[in-house]
Amino acid sequence: MSSDDRARGTGSSEQPGPKRKHPGKGISTRSVRGGEAKHKSEGSLITPIFQTSTYIFQNCAEIRAYNAKEVERWEYGRYGNPTQRAAECKLAELECAEDAFLFPSGMNALASTLLTLLKAGDHVVLAEDCYKNTRRFCELVLAKFGVELSLVRAGDMEALEAAIRPQTRVIVAESPTNPLLRIQDLHRLVALANSAGAELVLDSTLATPYNQRPFEFGVRYIVHSATKYLNGHQDLMAGALVGGAREIELVRTFCKPIGGVADPHQSWLLLRGLKTFAVRMQQHNRNAQIIAEFLEQHPRVRRVWYPGLASHPEHALACAQMDGFGGMVSFEVEGDEEQTLKFVDALDLWLLGPSLGGVESLVSHPATVSYSDFTAEERNRLGIYDNLVRLAVGIEDADDLVADIEQALSRI
């Protein structure tokens, strides 16, 4: 692999298709400047933290104008705040969407969206290898309110179509999935949802707006765990719903009586993290491609899961609808669970822990971490084998990360 290949982060693999044209400024400029007023309160360069629960009115005429929606301003912190709104506008610009709504966590964003769209007697279709807590929410919480659920294999469009009923109101999908990084055909998902009269809710956390913008494919409900790549520094919990203006307003209105909005400091931390979003994603993409290619040729590795490799089952689809392949790599060690855990413990730079998307590289053993409460049979059905390792690739020097993996693999 040449140094130019390494710099692009695509290696010898097929590169993504032509970059799609976007109106307005580039993604680096939108990361730094998007969503924020040029001239801010008190001449501040950075959007301030509006740390207040209550906003006062000058007189009753201003209240009447506010109630009539003749003026845009704030009333009470549970309905939003200026710092939060700046972060929402930045997220919408990055996603090339119409609007966004910021939540305290990604699961809060997803749960609030599903509760908005569903009622008793409705039916949801969900990929069985989705994020564990998404599945748990549908199985345990929605079921209490009379919402039925069908699970299908991710990417199996025939099974998905067969699972749709007249009562189907929502299809929930992820692309890429976690931890096997399966890619969904967004055009087909949107077409199928439209033909069924259902809404498509897509978790695009692993792709990020840097690599994939589902709104361009017609997805109107796009969920992110902003804790991950959007913030990028492992010091914040936040979630976001991004998409169509009408759809976002529907969810925002539903959430007014129940709360669940990001607080001012949360929003400010996300704004700070998003300033470096584009440059971080360049390095995540580059490092992950280099590591995936190294692992694929290593004799102590059985299989590598990364959309940027030609061996990935949806590599061609990923090239067609993504501008980069992300910062997560999963692989199977050539060995049993004991040897796999020995490899994990031998790592030095890779820190053992859950989550992903931060500047520090993390390693996880899905069978004993995120899927520890599944039976061995359930895990195997999902492809979560005892020798599977998930790497959340950070932005350290790729050569150092590779060297650490190499020395750890030599221990087994």
Residues 358-386 pLDDT 10s: 999 999 999 998 888 888 888 888 889 99
| Residues 213-259: tens digit of each pLDDT | 999 999 999 999 999 999 999 999 999 999 999 999 999 999 999 88
Total number of residues shown for the chain: 412
Query: 99, 185, 203, 323: which is the annotated catalytic residue?
Result: 203
Q: Whole-angstrom Cα distance, residue 269 to residue 261? A: 15
What is the band of 13 on the pLDDT scale with cuts at 50, 70, 90? very low
Q: Which of 69-83, 351-365, 374-388 has the highest mean pLDDT?
A: 351-365
Query: 85, 90, 131, 306: which is the annotated catalytic residue?
Result: 131
Is residue 131 flagged as an active site residue? Answer: yes
pLDDT of residue 217: 97
Is residue 210 flagged as an active site residue? Answer: no
Residue with tokens 């908005």: 116
* Per-domain residue ranges of the chain: 27-274, 277-410
Is residue 228 flagged as an active site residue? Answer: yes
Report whether pLDDT(262) > 50.
Answer: yes
Query: 8, 40, 78, 379: which is the annotated catalytic residue?
Result: 78
CATH, range 27-274: 3.40.640.10
> What is the number of alpha carbons within 13 Å of residue 113 lying toward its C-beta?
35
Question: Do 352 and 344 touch, CB atoms closer than 8 A?
Answer: yes
What is the band of 119 on the pLDDT scale with cuts at 50, 70, 90? very high
Q: Would you tell me how many other CB atoms lie within 10 Å of the CB of residue 90?
A: 25
Provide the token pair at 205.
């956390």
Q: Is 199 helix (H, G, I), strand (E, B) or coil?
A: strand
Q: What residues contact 385, with CB distance under 8 A and at least 6 apart?
A: 332, 367, 379
Is residue 203 flagged as an active site residue? Answer: yes
CATH, range 277-410: 3.90.1150.10
| Residues 89-118: tens digit of each pLDDT | 999 999 999 999 999 999 999 999 999 999
Say if 27-274 and 277-410 have the same CATH topology: no
Largest pairwise CA distance in the chain: 75
